[in-house]
Amino acid sequence: MIDTHGSGAPAAHDDHHHPRLQHHFDSLEQQKESSTLGMWLFLVTEIMFFGGLFTVYVIYRYAYPKVFAASSHHLDVLWGGINTAVLICSSLTMALSIYAAQINKRKLIVVFLIATILLGATFLGIKTVEYMDKIKHHLVPGFGLHFAPDDPHLQGANGQHAQLFFSLYFIMTGLHALHMIIGIGVLSVLAVLAWKGRYDSSYYNPLECTGLYWHFVDIVWIFLFPLLYLLGAHAR
Amino acid sequence: MAHHHDPKRTLLIYFAVFGALLIGTLLTVLAAKVDLGMMNDVVALGIAATKAMLVILFFMHVRDSTRMVALTAMGGFLWLAILIGITLLNYVTLETVLQVPGK
């Protein structure tokens, strides 16, 4: 047999000396496809992770529709709506930072990453205002906290079921917020590396994968907002 | 991926998706204020699923990705649908199937 691999097709190894190309990949494109697929596999586990909570929500919502609707009235649709818009803006700036890498505008990558970080921080700030309001109105269940809403719809026998709603609200939005905090941390590292000129059109896998993560967190909120805030808004 | 579209077209698509997502948010808030009975949930989830699809296809570049990536993404949501769908099926039909005595 003639050895067809030994000196290997050199044409396919044009970018062999690219500093970011790992030795176990044939090309930058193959490396990018692998990391994208790997990130999506991670996101599938995230879908199932949040999916379990969404399932719990669906079951208890089916069991206690009226108390869930009455509890939902205590969430602020305006803050929730503003936060939805803030997250959508942050998804746009995230996508634009990758676009900036594709057209080799290195400074623009940093600008859009910082914009994404600031929008993420704005979201968390508004979330904090909302949490403080819930604490003030005694709507936080568990942990020895005094769950005592002044709304008669959430008292007596309904109190237990209202606590279920607010438990789900805090667990789901809390986990979502934790994902945002992790995302902001990763974006901060990327902003520094981008500033040092690490990314351009030939290599931006970390931007792409972090973008996938950030957009996924946005999608989780796209479902959380109507399910938690808008439930029973027509009965207001 | 390898076949990058015309940069101007990419930008146009990003801003169009961005606008559609904001309009979708406004629509879902307005629709929630109208009493549609059971349809409130259907409309809310329909709008949310449409918004999610826009994010997945364009911001997450699945439209330009390999089939393997598209299949993986679809698989994730398919399994989620099985998880929620079959669990809910159980709860919805439990009483009629078991013919709970005294009910």
8 Å CB contact between A114 and A191: yes
Q: Based on the domain organization, do B60 and B82 belong to the same domain?
A: no
Q: Is B95 helix (H, G, I), strand (E, B) or coil?
A: helix
Which residues of chain B have a CB within 8 Å of the CB of A55? 83-84, 87
Mean pLDDT of chain B: 89
Question: Which pLDDT value is given to residue A178?
Answer: 98
* Six-digit token string for B31: 């629709």
How many distinct structural domains can be found in chain B? 2
Cβ partners under 8 Å of residue A226, min gap 6:
B28, B32, B44, B45, B47, B48
Sole residue written with tokens 């769950």: A147
Each residue's pLDDT tens digit, A57-73: 999 998 899 999 999 99
* CB-based burial label for A109 (10 Å; 0-12, 13-18, 19+): buried
Question: Which pLDDT value is given to residue A7?
Answer: 45
- DSSP string spanning A155-193? STHHHHHHHHHHHHHHHHHHHHHHHHHHHHHHHHHHHHH
Please check the confidence at residue A6 and state whether its pLDDT lies above 70. Answer: no
Q: Based on the domain organization, do B61 and B73 belong to the same domain?
A: no
8 Å CB contact between A113 and A187: yes
CA-based nearest residue to A59, from B44, B42, B88: B88
Contact A48 B83 (CB under 8 A): yes
Q: Based on the domain organization, do B2 and B29 belong to the same domain?
A: yes
Please check the confidence at residue A137 and state whether its pLDDT lies above 70. Answer: yes
Q: How far apart are CA A95 and CA A188, in angstroms?
A: 16
Contact B14 A223 (CB under 8 A): no
Q: Based on the domain organization, do B47 and B72 belong to the same domain?
A: no
Q: Based on the domain organization, do B73 and B99 belong to the same domain?
A: yes
Contact B66 A84 (CB under 8 A): no
Q: Based on the domain organization, do B49 and B99 belong to the same domain?
A: no
Please check the confidence at residue A13 and state whether its pLDDT lies above 60. Answer: no
Each residue's pLDDT tens digit, B49-81: 999 999 999 999 999 999 999 999 999 999 999
CA-based nearest residue to A103, from A227, A222, A199, A7: A199
- Could you tell me which CATH class the domain A26-235 is placed in? mainly alpha
What is the pTM (predicted TM-score) of this model?
A: 0.89
Residue A26 per-residue DSSP state: S
Using 50, 70 and 90 to split pLDDT, how confident is the model at A16? low
**Shortest Cα–Cα distance, A183 to chain B (Å):** 16
Q: Based on the domain organization, do B45 and B87 belong to the same domain?
A: no
Quote ipTM for the complex. 0.89
Alpha helix ranges (H) inside chain A: 28-63, 65-72, 77-102, 106-136, 157-195, 205-224
Mean pLDDT of chain A: 90
Q: Based on the domain organization, do B59 and B99 belong to the same domain?
A: no
Which of A47, A103, A212 is opposite residue B80, by nearest beta carbon? A47
**Which of the two residues, B100 and B22, has the higher pLDDT score?**
B22
Instruction: Parse chain A into domains and list their residue ranges.
Output: 26-235
CA-based nearest residue to A165, from A189, A195, A141: A141
8 Å CB contact between A48 and B75: no
Q: Is A200 helix (H, G, I), strand (E, B) or coil?
A: strand
Q: Based on the domain organization, do B55 and B71 belong to the same domain?
A: no
Q: Is A71 helix (H, G, I), strand (E, B) or coil?
A: helix
Mean pLDDT for the stretch of residues A167-193: 97
Q: Chain A to chain B, count of Cβ pairs less than 8 Å apart? A: 135
Tell me the residue range of the domain where B58 lies.
1-65
Question: Which pLDDT value is given to residue A232?
Answer: 73
Q: Based on the domain organization, do B44 and B89 belong to the same domain?
A: no
Each residue's pLDDT tens digit, A184-216: 999 999 999 999 999 999 999 999 999 999 999
Q: Is A203 helix (H, G, I), strand (E, B) or coil?
A: strand
**Shortest Cα–Cα distance, A67 to chain B (Å):** 16
Q: How far apart are CA A187 and CA A165, in angstroms?
A: 32
Binding-face residues of A in 136-195 toward B, CB within 8 A: none
Q: How far apart are CA A145 and CA A137, in angstroms?
A: 12
Q: Based on the domain organization, do B37 and B75 belong to the same domain?
A: no
Cβ partners under 8 Å of residue A6, min gap 6:
none
Q: Based on the domain organization, do B57 and B85 belong to the same domain?
A: no
Please check the confidence at residue B83 and state whether its pLDDT lies above 60. Answer: yes
**Shortest Cα–Cα distance, A94 to chain B (Å):** 9
Each residue's pLDDT tens digit, A22-59: 888 888 889 999 999 999 999 999 999 999 999 999 99
Which of B2, B14, B84 is opposite residue A95, by nearest beta carbon? B14
Question: Which pLDDT value is given to residue B68?
Answer: 95
* Six-digit token string for A112: 């859009």
Please check the confidence at residue B97 and state whether its pLDDT lies above 70. Answer: no
Nearest CA in chain B to A91: B59
**Which of the two residues, A13 and A102, has the higher pLDDT score?**
A102
Question: Which pLDDT value is given to residue B37?
Answer: 84
Q: Is B63 helix (H, G, I), strand (E, B) or coil?
A: helix
Mean pLDDT for the stretch of residues A166-186: 97
